Structure 1
Amino acid sequence: MATVLEHTQLPALARGFSLLGSGGGGSTTMLELALAGDEHWPLTLHELDDLDPALPCLGAAFVGSTMLLGERLPGEAPFARLIAAAERWLGHPVPVVCSLEGGGLNGLTPFTLAADRLVVDADLTGRAVPGLDQMSLLVDRVPGVVAACDTGAGGVMLAETGRPIDLERVIRAATIQAGGVGGTVFAGFTVGDLVEHSVHGGTLRALELGTAFLHAASAPLGELATALGGRLLGHGRISAVEPDARDPHVNAIGIDGEGGRVHRIITRSETLAFMTDGRVEASAPTIIVALDTVSRDILEVTDLTLARNVAVLELPAPAWWTQRPERLRHVVPSAYGLADLDGAA
């Protein structure tokens, strides 16, 4: 059954995708502003069962440093050349769009294409992740997937390979050449492929989370966590930010908690784990959310700075990842070289 999304629901939808970012995925502000002025509201969101499974589908996302999007705003139609290249390669139009990444700003990206495509409520991650090889279609080795990306100066690169890490590496290199951030489109799959090989209902989950968050944001922290269907892991003042000796991209954020407890948040581009007194309490793919305890802002990992008072919540992981061990291994901390943090998802 299709859902009609009203303009007034945009803030809740954005807050929900911020929560699903698990500290990553980029700020939703830019796309909120872009969609706020869109003349095509209300927007229709289709469930997979609404659509013919044979319909071709594409996914679109911004890749690279999402922080740069605040300085280098994308053009009016940032995915148009990429979609055109993919459609030329495939030899047919692609009438349906889903989300590549179901957390952070890319949760909103499909709605920028809603004027001329059907938006389906499916995505390839269910939360923010750093690698394109972690997209569900590639994790499940769905054949025929192609990817197109920006290379800078109006250039487009299209790649097709049976080895997922190749797409991650070549698109990452092209994005660096393009200036550090750019658009990417996946195509070559159908609505039917998404039935088994994607996370379902992520947009409606984001809307429910965001609505609950806006209603309960000023409530006591435990009540807020319960309203979101999660739990409060801990809260306190950040007392240390320490890079990991093995990987400078990994930080351990020390928090002085209540009753002498010592909490630690382990981050990379997203939050990977939460510990109390040396014990792992939660780890990816569980969604770990840090909030400013005063403003109740949803924080990204780059916002976790010394002396800030934060609260950390746990939200359930997308079930798609935990259904099979071969899927789960792509998103647990050991996938990032942190094997001692696995097992709390």
Structure 2
Amino acid sequence: MMLDPARSYDLIGDVHGCARTLQRLLDQLGYRQQGGVWRHPQRMALFLGDIVDRGPRVREALHLVHGMVEAGQAQCIMGNHEFYALGWSTPAAPGSGKHFVREHTPRHARLIRQTLEQFEDYPADWRDFLQWFHELPLVIDAGRFRMVHACWDSELIATLRSTYPEARIDQSFVQASAVPGSFASRVINRLLRGTDMRLPDGLTLTSDDGFTRGSFRTKFWEEDPQTYGDIVFQPDALPEWVARTPLSDAEKNELLRYGEQEPMLFVGHYWRSGRPAPIRPNLACLDYSAVLFGKLVAYRLDQETRLDPRKFVWVDVDRPEALR
């Protein structure tokens, strides 16, 4: 998908149903509501996915973003939570032994609960949005900058585009993703969830959100990592003894590396905290935990080819977001 190289863009991180905060951010960026759509005379908004789940106003946020996209005022890529919604709602392929692509387990139900509750009285709306999710590309490559929800893997993306030139997936792809180890499964896990590594010695960790995991999220850009601590990229720290554990040569070879000379890359997904800033001159994460009362963050992109720390813009999410 190509974007107008002469236009300026505002890239926006994970919204997760924080519609009122999104309105505040758009207002701060100079967008104004006209005819029910947020518009800017010179700029376009680019959303990094995860509009749904967890937050208090998912339906309102979806209508806002969808309205901007339909009016040519925004683009939006797919996040893992939009894909989870498709998987929850898509029947599994015959013979798979499953009822749905994303099985209706208590853990999966917990993640999508707020979204489904907010659409209980609007089933037609929900069906329309599920159809729209199929239209969201997994990636956008604009030449001098790129967008993906979690991780850019050039090889996987090139193979994906050989069948899906605009990186938009269909129901058969969603169904195929339920098969462990399939190409579709690898694409979804890598592009929408990122890279990870197994913890040593069968160790498991329970994160702050209550999920027990046997792996941890890893950086996909570190040039010369030596220990587990050098590559961890998630809100929950590793135990100190794990962080000090040296990486084996085999583990180092498994790591993906997004080079420093590659185009600027924008991702969401990773629940960062603190003051928004570039990770590297060509890499920025714009997810600063808005739905956990962090920050909803944008980057104001003009014609630069390397990130400018002064061009991050954000609004703090206050607790009344969930009360008003």
Shared fold per TM-score greater than 0.5: no
TM-score (norm 2): 0.29
When normalised by structure 1's length, the TM-score is: 0.28
